[in-house]
Amino acid sequence: MGKTKKKRVLFICRHNSARSQMAEAFLREFYGNRYKVYNAGIEPIGINPYAIRIMKEIGIYISKQKSKSLNKFAGEEFDYVVTTCGDADEVCPVFPLGVERIHNSFDDPTIAKGTEEEILSEFRRVRDEIRKWVIETFGSHEECFRYSYSINYSGHCRTRR
């Protein structure tokens, strides 16, 4: 039997500085054997240092990832195009037929205000939401258990309580 071709996934958010970067890193970390993962932004501004820091806390290093323009991927084919903020969903270009578009608007941690610890807390909260969502959306039932998740009655993963 031949090797199964990896599905191609593109994560998009406005600035490509936090949410799409984290989503790419989680999908690659957990399911890189099945997915080839990319990220892009409508108006890329570079990776937010807090995003790098809070991902490093859990052993995932994104400092070498790049913030890229969505234009870089014009004409490329993807199996899934995932928007991680409302802005990206509204202005996301049309992709070829057969591409599955997925949208989940996560809060933007880069607009958090307060002390450094309060800002980091918001980044961690969003990071954990993205991690949970990536596992629920892209993981198999067996993998849900591997990452301390359980299956609910509808067959989707959910966190154990």
Q: Show which residues are catalytic.
A: 13, 85, 92
CA distance 53 to 58: 9
Q: Which of 141, 137, 139, 135 is nearest to 153 (CA)?
A: 141
Fill in the amino acid letter for 122.
Answer: E
What does the DSSP 8-state code read for residue 73? G
Q: Which of 83, 31, 39, 30 is nearest to 58 (CA)?
A: 30
> Kindly report the CA angle at 86 between 85 and 87, in degrees rounded to 5?
95
- Token pair in block for residue 137: 């959306």
Q: Which of 21, 2, 1 is nearest to 12 (CA)?
A: 21
